[in-house]
Structure 1
Amino acid sequence: MTIRKFILAIFTVFAAQLLAAQIVFAAGSSSSSSTTEAEAPQSAEFAAGKEAIDAKQWDAAVAAFTKVTASEPDNADAYNYLGYAQRNLKNYDAAFESYNKALAINPDHKGANEYIGEAYLQVGNLDKAEEHLLKLDALCFFGCAEYTMLKRAVEDYKAKQS
């Protein structure tokens, strides 16, 4: 294979990954969680919590995911969603606690790394947000929606600061 063909092949793979991330971003996905969610069966309470998040019913989501985390203390996805709902209620201390529990269970949880980074931006801590962006960069070799979304949030934050 010539160098030109090799570079073209690499570019094509990169472009496809970037397009896939853009499609997910454009769809407005609020469920940026790890693959464990798709693999594990979900309880009725977990499903109710996701429905509440989709409907932006943050108090109902907090109630549902609080029950899920009580019955499933090793469920990183549930802690991630709980943190997401708490953050949307502007209860940042509780959100950080939930995200940190998700990351203690699964340090490579893409959704929790994205969401905690966004929360750090909301409280004005760019350095911590960028730490999680670097973590996502390491986790997403060819890019992923979580990396793309947090990167855009960091860029928007920096643009507003200047």
Structure 2
Amino acid sequence: MTFRKFILAIFTVFAAQLLAAQIVFSAGSSSSTTEAEAPKSADFAAGKAAIDAEQWEAAIAAFTKVTTDEPKNADAYNYLGYANRKLKNYDAAFENYNNALAINPDHKGANEYIGEAYLQTGNLKMAEEHLLKLDALCFFGCPEYTMLKRAVEDYKAKQS
């Protein structure tokens, strides 16, 4: 194997690992914190379990406790917004997404979910603003950008 081929092989392996890491770390709530940094209270775990089980009221109760105890927890506000949006409590959803974004403007999950909420309430312009924000945050792309882009495209197709 020539030196050039060896370097190319090393670069290819490194690039594949970097891409795999981005996919793994982008799962979940999508804050800029890593799993090790994320707070793990019992209420947070209960809220996440309720989200996974689509028990929106239980999720709201749990994440309300988390945000009371941890007022700077962007992930908790994001999940609280998500549960409210699923119940079509759009005012509460927007309030919580905006709280998450005030804490962490680069929170990918909150940018995606607020964009989806804007589409559900007929505000394409604001959804596209959050899509642009995700485009800037996701240099190599990310699931949040892809999902909001797809939602925007579907929304536009239904409007035609």
* 1:121 corresponds to: 119
Does structure 2 conserve the Cα–Cα contact (< 8 Å) formed by 1:102 and 1:109?
yes
Is there any run of 5+ residues in structure 2 with no aligned partner, and where?
Answer: 1-10
Provide the alpha-carbon RMSD of the alignment.
2.6
Alignment equivalent of 2:98, drawn from 92, 97, 100: 100
Select the structure of larger CA radius of gyration.
2
TM-score when normalising by structure 1:
0.82
Q: How much identity, in percent, do the aligned residues show?
A: 78
1:141–1:117 Cα change, 3 Å: same
State the SS of the aligned residue for 1:36. coil
Does structure 2 conserve the Cα–Cα contact (< 8 Å) formed by 1:113 and 1:132?
yes
State the SS of the aligned residue for 2:88. coil
1:96–1:37 Cα change, 3 Å: farther
Does structure 1 conserve the Cα–Cα contact (< 8 Å) formed by 2:29 and 2:79?
no
Q: Distance in 1 between matches of 2:25 and 2:88?
A: 25
Q: Distance in 1 between matches of 2:25 and 2:155?
A: 21
State the SS of the aligned residue for 2:31. coil
Aligned residues: 146
- 1:1-162 mapped onto 2 (5 Å cutoff): 31-36=28-33, 38=35, 39-162=37-160
Q: Distance in 1 between matches of 2:158 and 2:84?
A: 24
Which runs of 4 or more aligned residues in structure 1 lie more than 3 Å from their structure 2 counterparts after TM superposition? none
Cα deviation 1:101-132 (Å, max 9, x = unaligned)? 00000000000000000000000000000000
Does structure 2 conserve the Cα–Cα contact (< 8 Å) formed by 1:83 and 1:95?
yes
Q: Distance in 1 between matches of 2:34 and 2:119?
A: 26
Cα deviation 1:41-79 (Å, max 9, x = unaligned)? 310000000000000000000000000000000000000
Does structure 1 conserve the Cα–Cα contact (< 8 Å) formed by 2:32 and 2:106?
no
Is there any run of 5+ residues in structure 1 with no aligned partner, and where?
Answer: 1-8
Cα deviation 1:62-99 (Å, max 9, x = unaligned)? 00000000000000000000000000000000000000
